[in-house]
Amino acid sequence: MIERGSSSLYAIGRKSATRNVVPASNPIAKVLSARRWQAGFPSSPSFRVPKGFDPGSLAPIDPTLTTKDTKSAKMEFEDLSNRVIGSAIEVHRHLGPGLLESAYEQCLAHELSRNRIAFQLQVAQPVKYKDVRLDCGYRIDILIENQIILELKSVEKLLGIHEAQLLTYMKLAAIKIGLLMNFNVTKLKEGIKRFVL
């Protein structure tokens, strides 16, 4: 339990009657208390803004960074991600396993365009080395709205090298989300891996 006296902040243990005194000049207590005040929380009797403290000395809280905004951005991404995965499942439902990666790529491109999802096929990904951009032949299979990288495979089993390839593309392109999809499975859900940087 924390109590505020006129000149000190006290921490009282449950079983002990001794008090650990934290001076009112403690900058952490001042910052926490001022942040509560700036955020519009009412001061409680156990946690008050210290006398003489100027909350204007703190950097203002950015009103654009609210949990509501971050939740809506996350929901927008999840909606896009779900639409992309739904398109891939539709392709897999019609074609089944066993075809070449290029066939799945073209069919998925058709399905994405039907669902009005912006994408680019076979995007060249240069390597930046000491302020020089080198074209080393890296190609991103599908880039979705400059937000998600899709790396398509049609292999017996996904290996660590496939994951490393996607992670490398994500780092080079500065894209935070990647989906690795193996179409050579009976259920596509079992062949999808999601990566976040």
pLDDT on residue 4:
47
More confident residue, 179 or 71: 179
Segment 133-158, tens digit of pLDDT: 888 888 999 999 999 999 999 999 99
Looking at residue 71, its pLDDT comes to 56
pLDDT, tens only, 70-122: 555 556 667 888 999 999 999 999 999 999 999 999 999 999 999 999 999 99
pLDDT at 77: 63
Paired strand residues for 3:
10
Q: Stretch 18-31: mean pLDDT, rounded? A: 50
Q: What is the rounded distance in angstroms from the CA atom of residue 141 to the CA atom of residue 143?
A: 7
Distance CA 84, CA 78 (A): 10
3-class DSSP string for 105-157: HHHHHHHHHHCCCCEEEEEECCEEECCEEECCCCEEEEEECCCEEEEEECCCC
Residues 156 and 149 sit within 8 Å (Cβ to Cβ): no
Give the tens place of pLDDT for each residue, 39-74: 444 444 444 555 555 555 544 444 554 555 555 555
pLDDT of residue 193: 94
Give 6's pLDDT tier (boundaries 50, 70, 90): very low
Distance CA 106, CA 116 (A): 15
Give domain limits for the chain. 2-57, 67-196
User: To the nearest whole number, what is the mean pLDDT of the chain?
Assistant: 76
